[in-house]
A and B are shown apart, each in its own frame.
Chain A
Amino acid sequence: MENVLKVERIEKYYGSRSSLTKAIDNLSFEVEKGEFVAIMGASGSGKTTLLNCISTIDRVTSGHIFVDGIDVTKLKGNNLNKFRREELGFIFQDFNLLDTLTAYENIALALSIQNVSVSEIDRRIKKVAVDLDIKNILSKYPYQISGGQKQRVASARAIITNPKLVLADEPTGALDSKSARMLLERFEFLNKELDTTILMVTHDAFTASYASKVIFIKDGKIFKEIHKGDSSRKNFFDKIIDVVTLLGGDLNDAL
């Protein structure tokens, strides 16, 4: 299978010469098309920095990141924005929906900044609304809907542009367990049925157990990588917990 994402020996340093912090230290991995990958790690392990580097919000100190064969570390200015809006989809912990716009308009915005025609926008939104079960809240404002619904609207906005890669940063972080489960089931659906490639950062083992592969990060390095394979989600969850325990238990409090 082809690689959608290839991270090649990247490093990210913070601070000045006198007090250097290595947030990411010589890290490499690959994500294949149609994979659902979770990245786990404690606070300060460098997982959010990694996501920011992949999403081109932050720049690496050295190394290369290829998305669908394009080296994103070489992109600049408007090419960067173009790449970001055409090749990537984002889902954030705090939803990042515009509170002045309705759900429909929030989703439409991702397409209208790409100059997609009105009829095409409408067609795609109708379809994605069915996939994510948000059909009856499209005309509502963010303040009128629940956190879970908001995150599904944000997910719709992320996938509507048919991105090569969907990046999710703690998508269940602000949700209650029921909403989180519902969202993750949708993610599973998007991944299985629509072949969407998802890279998700989380420190929650339950959330990670929906992925097909989990990469553990500690101190900016890959600690372990486990695959779900044919095991059930329950078994995979136990496996993840084992690694978390091994990691030093920092993550236990998140459960």
Chain B
Amino acid sequence: MLCRLSLKNIKKSIKDYAIYFFTLILGVAIFYVFNALDSQTIMMNVSSSTQELIELMMNMLSGVSVFVSFILGFLIIYASRFLMKRRNREFGVYLTLGMSKRKISLILFFETLFIGVLSLIVGLGFGVVLSQFMSLLVANMFEANLSKFTFVFSSSACIKTIIYFSIMYLIVMIFNTISVSKCRLIDLLNGSRKIEKIKLKNPYLCIIIFIISSIVLGRAYYIVVHEFLTLQEASDIMIPIAMGVFSTFFIFWSLSGLILRIVQSLKRYYYKGLNSFILREFSSKINTTVFSTTIICLMLFITICLLSACLTIKNSMNENIKKLVPADAMFSQNMNMDKYYDDFRKYGYNDLQIKNSHYTAREMFKIFDFDITSYFKDYIEVNTYATHDLTMFNTLGSKLNDIKVKFPFLEYDSMETIMKISDYNKVARFYGIKEYSLKENQYMIIADFESMIKIRDISLKNKEEINLFGHNLKPKYDSCQEGFLEMSSNHINAGIILVPDSVVDEEYLIENYLIGNYKTTDKDKITKIEDSINALGNDSKANDYLLPSGSTKLAIKEATVGLSTMVTFIGLYLGIIFLISSAAILALKELSDASDNKERFRILRKIGTDEALLNKALFREIAIFFILPLILAIVHSIFGITFAMNILEVFGNEELLPSIVVTAIFLIFIYGGYFLITYYCSKNIIKERY
């Protein structure tokens, strides 16, 4: 009997709250898809290092899943409380008929159970279908060949989804039971008839609060964009974030009072068509929804930043590889380690390795009976030098104290890397990047790590002279020049001092580099070569001699692809969940308001308002509620993204626009879709049936 009642209730309300079920199904599906990612990669032919990255990615994703389940859990609890409120009268009738509260709880229990099971089944089915498409995307990102299409089903992800969502539904049941046991009959019966008092806020107070909030918000923007380098600890960022959150709340709070006042003074506009009605509805509604509007605004803000930042990182990572990894392989060999015996002992090298450190990388390979150069089509060898007499203390010179105040976290006593100009030009020619020339008494610095460039430029601008091996050198340029030696997926060159060849004392040679291009371009053959180089580490000689450390294009590429895929998936996962959650909350709110407003629209119809005018009013009302948090979120995002790009500058930020476009497409489709569905459902609700 109770079961049948529950079923009928669901059937009755499924039309009005289709959007809620739709969101639940989407949530389940997305949860499954991202947790089933690993099963899609199993049948792909990927290297072991990629496999490790996938494992790392899955660990990250399952951590994110816990967070996601919290968000979805809140959404479900919020929504079910909402749906409960709408049915107060129904419960009131049950109670007057003599049904016990326990039985009402039981009805709700059955309902939640049905909805839960239904959404899980449909959502999982949808998720399984969706994950087939996902495997294409995954294969594409890992640049793996998906030779034949295989249907994959991840039972572990399926079980995980069921467990997580069961817990969420269980919590909802508990919440429902508590709220039923707390309610009073009179409130249930009269709930919908309660006359809402319209409180108008003091306009002057609103203006003052609005101005103060705007100033605070502006200050927060300024901090994150212009003063981010002075943020000394990670926790310092919490200050502008808190400022942003509070000012967002108060801006919405004051806007609710302000907009009505402003438009009311524009009498010509206010008394036109249904404008007065729309605005009154708006201000009466926003009064009660300042908090949720704030939450939605912030969620949208996070979504926009997350999506565009993650996509940018992915794009620029791939872009960086092309630029920053111009050669196939680079091997570096520490030399003259005994000169800095204590330092190297500290790093964990043994006595023999330190003693036997007078070979170049090529010579060292020979000792291991490996003729590396026979695999190379062409190669170069260059050296770098270092001395305790030239540290950042010396290069920064007189500006040191000013800089130290601003950047206290830098290690000022680390040795600078020194390179002969001719050696560097050899590298530059090999890489195909810009070459430089120096006069006898000049030096220059090449770097590509933005934050370090900023610091070094202060001293260079000040024409800081350095003293090296008894020579006084003046800076040729008043800023760092573009360039790098070590291949990497990011801009990590914090600065190399280029000096005239004649200045350098060979005794201070510290590292030898061997850079080459393979004869072969075949990926499998290169893998074989690099595998045999890695195998040298198992040679018994490796205890006595230090093997050159290598960074190769192939290895860097694989690591980057893994990292960028991880970042993309986490961004997509969180972004979509945030987006559908906030859109669903808005949609539910508007739909339930539409049922409340049915009466108002009926009155408007009775006094002869055109159907078109009514629909327009409804459209505008819903549009305002969807757009208002979005506008502020976009403004937040402009500064948020700028900040994120500054922080993540090692990744480069050349590719911002395409990712913003992609983010916008996501927003328009998901958020806009929810908006349209809400509008059509609301239109259905206010439609008069006779």
Residues of A within 8 A of B (CB): 57-58, 77-78, 81-86, 88, 90, 92, 96-101, 105, 108-113, 115, 118, 121, 141, 143, 157
Contacts and interface: CB of A to CB of B under 8 A. Distances in A.
A63 to B, nearest CB: 19
Interface in B579-629: 600, 603-613
A98 B603 CA distance: 8
A112 B195 contact: no
Q: Tell me which of A88, A121, A141 has the highest count of chain B C-beta atoms within 10 A of its own C-beta.
A: A141
Interface stretch (B148-156, B271-279, B404-412): B271-279
Interface of B: 195-198, 267-268, 271-277, 280-281, 284, 600, 603-613, 690
Nearest to A114: B608
B603 A81 contact: no
A113 B268 contact: no
Contacts of B197: 143
A112 B271 contact: yes
Given A82-B610, A113-B608, A141-B198, A118 B267 contact: yes
A57 B690 CA distance: 9
Contact of A81 (B195, B274, B611): B611
A85 B607 contact: yes
A78 B611 contact: yes
Nearest to A56: B608
Contact of A101 (B196, B273, B280, B606): B280
25 contacts: A78-B611, A78-B612, A81-B605, A81-B608, A85-B608, A88-B608, A90-B606, A92-B606, A96-B606, A98-B600, A100-B280, A100-B281, A100-B600, A101-B277, A108-B271, A109-B274, A109-B276, A109-B604, A109-B607, A112-B272, A113-B274, A113-B604, A115-B272, A115-B273, A121-B271
Q: Tell me which of B197, B273, B600, B610 has the highest count of chain A C-beta atoms within 10 A of its own C-beta.
A: B610
Contacts of A118: 267-268, 271
The 7 closest A-B pairs by CB, nearest first: A85-B608, A84-B608, A100-B280, A96-B603, A118-B267, A143-B195, A112-B271
Contacts of B196: 99
Q: Tell me which of B197, B280, B604, B605 has the highest count of chain A C-beta atoms within 10 A of its own C-beta.
A: B280
A81 B610 contact: yes
A78 B198 contact: no
Given A105-B280, A115-B272, A118-B268, A100 B606 contact: no
Contacts of A141: 198
B685 to A, nearest CB: 18
B272 A110 contact: no
Contact of B610 (A58, A78, A109): A78
A58 B690 CA distance: 8
Contacts of A82: 608, 610
Contact of A100 (B198, B268, B607, B612): B198
Contact of A110 (B268, B275, B600, B607): B607
Contacts of A112: 271-276
Given A90-B606, A99-B195, A109-B607, 17 more contacts: A78-B610, A81-B608, A81-B610, A82-B610, A96-B603, A98-B277, A98-B600, A98-B603, A98-B604, A100-B198, A100-B280, A100-B281, A105-B276, A109-B274, A112-B274, A115-B272, A115-B273
